[in-house]
Amino acid sequence: MTIFYKYHGAGNDFIMIDNRDGNFDIKNIDNIKLLCHRRFGVGADGIILLEEPTTSADKQEGYDFKMVFANNDGSMGPMCGNGGRCIVDFAYNVLKIIKDPQNINFIAVDGEHKAEILGDGQVKLKMQDIKNISTRNDLPFVLCGTTPHNIMFVENLKEFPVFETGRKIRNSDSNPNGINANFVEIKDDIVNVRTYERGVEDETLACGTGAVSVAIACSYLNKIKSNTCHIKMPGGDLTVEFEKEKNDSYKNIYLTGPAVCVFKGEIK
């Protein structure tokens, strides 16, 4: 039996597993699909494993843990912003392996991340620097860590056909792994976003790397003036902070939002 914890970050939900013993096989695609199935399994947008840092270099850096993420279709996922915040809460509040909640360091597929536990269930996560904002599929394109995002600005976002349009964008990309599609409407200085995620192959209630990509694109295109961007997604609110460099690159990017443990269970 394997103990799991169900988490969500603004409605973006995950099955969280302590895999420091290495017993859970993340490469078993059929098992991942079954566990993430919302009718026949636990139900989630993906599975996240907390593991010990594996390489000698990572061990020397003294990372608190390693994050491994799989999408609910069984494919190995890139960095997940909401999942990153959830695993930080998992490490601190459930596993209790974190000594300093204001100085958390972990390693993920896109490199090192720093985080801190804030009050009221909020977690602040540092993301990778972003450079070379460009155009792909005739839309603004941002690579957030290793996660590609298109951004489309629309009207009447509430009624916009996110699933149909998002799937077309996802499958039209030259990258064989596809691309995430974010649909944006700015009202009263609030950036409203809905996202179609590859790997999930559907709209998700929130997307952390999508929120970051939208904030950076809005800054780059001068649609917002502040270095703090408030993002409203169907599952909840996220905040993105950043510093803009003279060469239109961005550093010190932080994603802040909720990380909620919903329940604990056991799986075979």
Helix ranges restricted to H, the chain: 29-36, 56-61, 81-89, 162-172, 208-220
Contacts of 223 (CB under 8 A, 6+ apart): 153, 186, 217
- Could you tell me the two tokens for 158? 């509430």
Active site includes 207?
yes
Pick the catalytic residue from 80, 86, 218, 229: 80
Q: Could you write out the DSSP letters of every residue in 172-188?
A: HSSSTT--EEEEEEEET
Active site includes 36?
no
Pick the catalytic residue from 36, 86, 144, 207: 207
Q: What angle do CA 226, 197, 115 make, to 5 degrees?
A: 50
Helix ranges restricted to H, 68-127: 81-89
CB 196 within 8 A of CB 167: yes
Cα–Cα distance, 6 to 47 (Å, whole number): 9
User: What residues are labeled active site?
Assistant: 80, 207
